[in-house]
Amino acid sequence: MRQNFLNNYVVWGWCKHAALRMSVLWWFWLLGGCATIDPFANLDEWKEIQSKNFIVYTNAQEKVALNFVKEFEVFRATALKITTIPPFEETVPVRIYLFKNQNSFAPFRPSENTAGYFIQGKNYIALYAIPFEENPQYPIVYHEYIHYLLSKHPAIIPSWFNEGLATMFETFELNRGLVTFGNPQYDRWMFMKQRASWIPMKEFLSDQTNYHENNERTHAHSQAWALMHYFIFGNKQNMAKLGQYIYLVNNGYEYGEALLSTFGLTPEELLQEVKGYIAKETLPYSTMKLDDIAIDHHHHIRALKENEARQVIQDLKDLVDTFREKVSHQH
């Protein structure tokens, strides 16, 4: 089972005024040692791989890179299926920088402990090609990509839904043709089961919760995870009711009224239901065969010319340098 490794990762965002910002989940500002390797070394190794929804720039081995592309396409298709977001064409494909190893990635780390990140607004993903067991870099990228997909939803999505579903997708896994979704993060589950001070559901459903205050006693992301896990797996009828709930609150219903109309529960009763669900000895999760998920396997590979590779790399380097400069002025 994948544990909760989120605390070590960094989420990138792009502000409305095009100023770079970073939300750090465990505030590691260790900038030393990031610029000791030439970022433009071995430009002849760089390739471009275009799939239906992603464009990957990589200096990793072709087989490794193609496996990454496949996993991200499967992840996207699974996410759309579960979130009920209507299929949409990526007018500008999400760009993935896949580095062959940690040393190659080092000049592009915004901090020493960063293993992977998603730059919101630009829709860039950067990580390096190391198996999950050796370097658990996927959860934060999966989490932020779900936020990106939910931004395409035609409905207004509440924050607890957005954060809860993104947190659930952190443990997504594709292994030997089998997709796993919803496998509980053990540390997060035990925290909510044994030590959490739960946020009142009235406050939670009305989106008054601050998700940037990562206080362990009232860990908002963990409660959002628990609520969404209950909605998705707690009862077969829950997902249909949740869809109706979202429809009602998007059409003027107050959240408590919508909850009572769809689930027949008050916020206080819902909180007790979720607590009881999380207190179980085991929690369910879903598995799907890859054959049951419709994905487009077509892709195009080409070697980049030296000037193309340099420009592609420079684009990411400029963003990282801008961020480092802003952080140095803040500390």
- Say whether pLDDT at 267 is over 70: yes
Interval 47-88: pLDDT, tens: 999 999 999 999 999 999 998 898 899 899 888 888 777 777
Report pTM: 0.78
Average pLDDT over the chain reads 83
Note the pLDDT tens digit of each residue in 164-190: 999 999 999 888 888 899 999 999 999
Cα distance between the two ends of the chain: 38
In terms of residues, how long is the chain? 331
- Gap between the Cα atoms of 331 and 327, Å rounded: 6
Note whether 107 and 319 are within 8 A (CB): no
Q: Is the separation of the CB atoms in 148 and 93 below 8 Å?
A: no
pLDDT bin (cut points 50, 70, 90) of residue 134 is low
What whole-number distance in Å separates Cα of residue 101 and Cα of residue 161?
35
- Reading the block at residue 308, the tokens are 């193309």
Facing residues of 116 across strands? 127
- Predicted pLDDT at 48: 97
Q: What per-residue confidence (pLDDT) applies to 92?
A: 84
Indicate if the pLDDT at residue 313 is higher than 70. yes
- For residue 4, the model assigns a pLDDT of 35
Residue that the structure tokens 């000037």 belong to: 307
CB atoms within 10 A of CB 207: 13
pLDDT of 215 above 50: yes
State the DSSP string of 160-190: HHHHHHHHHGGG-EEETTEEEE-PPPHHHHH
Best CA proximity match to 96, nearest among 154, 155, 56, 127: 56
Which range (26-35, 101-110, 135-144, 277-286) has the least confidence?
26-35
**C-beta separation of 286 from 269 below 8 A:** no
**What does R_g of the chain's alpha carbons equal in angstroms?**
20
**Which range (50-54, 270-274, 324-328) has the least confidence?**
324-328
Count of alpha carbons within 13 angstroms of residue 188, beta-carbon side: 28
Give percent above pLDDT 70 in the chain.
83
53: DSSP letter? S
Return d(Cα 115, Cα 322) in angstroms, integer.
19
Q: Which amino acid is residue 190, in one-letter code?
A: M
